[in-house]
Amino acid sequence: MSRKLYLLTYGCQMNEYDSAKMADVLAKSHGFERTNVAEEADLLLLNTCSVREKAQEKVFSELGRWKDWKSARPGRLIGVGGCVASQEGDAIARRAPIVDIVFGPQTLHRLPELLERAGKAGVPAVDISFPEIEKFDRLPEPRAEGPTAFVSIMEGCSKYCTFCVVPYTRGEEVSRPLDDVLAECARLVEQGVREITLLGQNVNAYRGRMGAHETCDLALLINHLARLDGLARIRFMTSHPVEFTDSLIEAFAEEPKLASYLHLPVQSGSDRILAMMKRGHNRAQYLEKIRRVREARPDLSLSSDFIVGFPSETDADFMATMDLIAEARFDCAFSFIYSPRPGTPAANLRDSVTAQDKHRRLEILQGRIRLLDAEFKEKLVGTTQRVLVERASRKGEGQMTGRTSTNRWVNFDGSDSLIGRFVDVYVAEALSNSLRGRLLTEPAALAA
Ligand code: SAM
Ligand code: F3S
């Protein structure tokens, strides 16, 4: 009987991607099958996130809950991977002795060896090194799970924003060679994938080796990918404003396969705070890039990340962020209260903003984004949108769901046979988290 793996993932899409790869690696090496029932499992893996304190603390409270699970059957193993593992190393196993394996985001491909070592010498197997691109060379063939897929094109981040732990946990930027990325995408397309999201902490810093002496940037990679027959939509995330270059703006103007969605984190609208964060740009430079990309792609959906309550942030700084939101017209955002991360420069600053102010600012900001999202969706009502049908909708029987180019979910009546196909849907209604539509194209007449 095959052994069973129970995998819990916290954090960003990079972690989701890494978790899928962990499952692939262990399926190939030890025949592990993934299960959603913890009681059946022989191996528990926690893929962790340390971007904010809450996420980090969750790991130890979670581990506390697995003591009985582990002692209920001899031989059960627990592994901790991801950014908390990378930061804490074997301190994890000291604080939570039930842990057998500790591995980082760059060593997940070594899980088979770590598993063999685990528990043998009575000490946990730990490997949190950064062996650069080796990880990608040793991963099994990519497996498509539906019509959309993520492809990691680079790892790490070299921007060192003063609040962020990522450069320390995932290491500096390393890009995969162009040919490797194209080969992985081609294999996914052969398996029916129609939309690919290029992933990385900072994808527009992509500089992949191309041939013997040249490098390829993100815009050129998008051009190459767009030539792949069968692939109809390309997305990328996350981007940093400084490297959001002219060539990428051009790609939005000229490459119809590039989706009308851009996630370009700005964090704050105050120049003083942006400088303290060491983001490398000011508000005017950011707005100028937005103006130009909107010119290139007028129907663009624009999304961002914000941090409120950065040390010394005043009401005036916060109002500058709110003004920027109005000017840039973000229709989607992920917003967070600043969380000091050990080892980052900002953690040494006095945290002068009261908890009350932080929560009030977050609420105001999120309320404003909700309104802008509602306005954006309302504008889609009465239009026809091309939707890639991804799966049956949870809204009810006989309903399918998929996303518009602008990354909005649309539910409509249809059958499973539409999965993986692009359809034209008339948008009839905007709801709080999705759109309601009516299928226009007859399945038989569907093209890509
Ligand atoms: N590469 C992205 C960029 O260009 O900004 C950011 C990746 S980071 C893992 C995701 C988001 O988490 C950031 O954009 C930021 O808003 C948030 N974040 C990072 N460190 C944080 C901290 N110490 N406190 C609160 N939020 C934080
Ligand atoms: Fe973090 Fe800034 Fe890089 S937010 S992931 S250091 S761009």
Secondary structure of 252-271 as H, E, C letters:
HHHCCCECCEEECCCECCCH
CA of 92 to the centre of ligand 1 (A): 23
Instruction: Please name which ligand lies nearest the alpha carbon of 11.
Output: 1
Phi, psi torsion values for 198, nearest 5 degrees: -80, 125
pTM of the predicted protein model = 0.92
Whether the CB of 52 sits within 6 Å of ligand 2: no
Token reading at 385: 């949108």
> 284 CB contacts (<8 Å, ≥6 apart)?
none
What's the pLDDT score for residue 442?
58
Give the residue ranges of the chain where pLDDT is below 50: 444-448
Would you state the structure tokens that stand for residue 7, as one six-digit string?
């995998």
Q: How many CB atoms lie within 10 A of CB 357?
A: 16
d(CA 304, CA 229): 31
Residue 52 Cα to ligand 2 middle (Å): 13
d(CA 370, CA 365): 9
Distance 257 CA to ligand 2 centre (A): 27
- Give the integer Cα–Cα distance in Å for 420 and 194: 7
Compute how many other C-beta atoms are within 10 angstroms of the C-beta atom of residue 40.
Answer: 12
pLDDT of residue 274: 98
Query: Is 152 touching ligand 2 by the criterion CB < 6 Å?
Result: no
**Residue at token pair 């959603």:** 36
Ligand nearest to the CA of 50: 1
The sign one gets for the Cα dihedral 162, 215, 143, 32 is negative
- 282 in the Ramachandran plot: left (φ > 0), alpha (ψ -120 to 50) or beta? beta
For residue 250, give the DSSP letter: H
Measured from the alpha carbon of residue 159, the closest ligand is 2
Which residues share a beta bridge with 235?
A: 197
Task: Compute CA distances 145 → 135, 151, 416, whole Å.
Answer: 21, 13, 15
- CA dist., res. 295 & res. 80, Å (int): 46
164 Cβ below 6 A of ligand 2: yes
Question: Which residues lie closer than 8 Å to 298 by C-beta, 6 or more apart?
Answer: none
pLDDT at 447: 47
Only one residue has tokens 């939005």, namely 252
Considering only CA atoms, which residue is closest to atom 22 of ligand 1?
339
Q: Return the bridge partners of 387, or none.
A: 423
Tell me how far apart the alpha carbons of residues 391 and 414 are, in angstroms, rounded to a whole number: 10
Q: How far apart are CA 308 and CA 359, in angstroms?
A: 9
Phi and psi torsions of 168, nearest 5°: -85, -30
How far away, in angstroms, is 339 Cα from ligand 1 center? 10
Q: Residue 272 — left, alpha, or beta (φ > 0 → left; ψ -120 to 50 → alpha)?
A: alpha
Residue with tokens 């916290």: 10
How far is the C-alpha of 118 from the C-alpha of 102, rounded, in Å?
Answer: 10
Give the Cα separation of 242 and 412 in Å (integer): 39
Task: Report whether 93 contacts 60 (CB < 8 A).
Answer: no
pLDDT of 277: 98
Q: In angstroms, rounded to a whole number, what is the distance separating the alpha carbons of residues 344 and 362?
A: 23
Question: Where is 435: in which H helix or E strand?
Answer: strand 435-439
Stated as kind and residue range, the H or E segment containing 102 is strand 101-103
Under a CB-based contact definition with an 8 Å cutoff, are residues 381 and 426 in contact?
no
Q: Give the pLDDT confidence score for residue 446 in this predicted structure.
A: 47
3-class DSSP assignment, residue 444: helix
What angle is formed at CA 372 by the lines to CA 367 and CA 375, rounded to 5 degrees?
130
What is the model's pLDDT at position 237? Answer: 94
Tokens of 137: 């060379």
Pocket of ligand 1, beta carbon within 6 A: 12, 51-52, 157, 163-164, 166, 201-202, 238, 240, 265, 267, 305, 307, 336, 338-339, 341
- For residue 103, give both structure tokens: 């591995």
Instruction: Answer for the pair 406, 300: CB distance below 8 angstroms, yes or no.
Output: yes
Backbone phi and psi for residue 370, each to the nearest 5 degrees, phi listed first? -60, -40
pLDDT of residue 1: 72
Which ligand has the nearest atom to the CA of 336? Answer: 1
| Ligand 2 in reach of 156 Cβ (< 6 A) | no
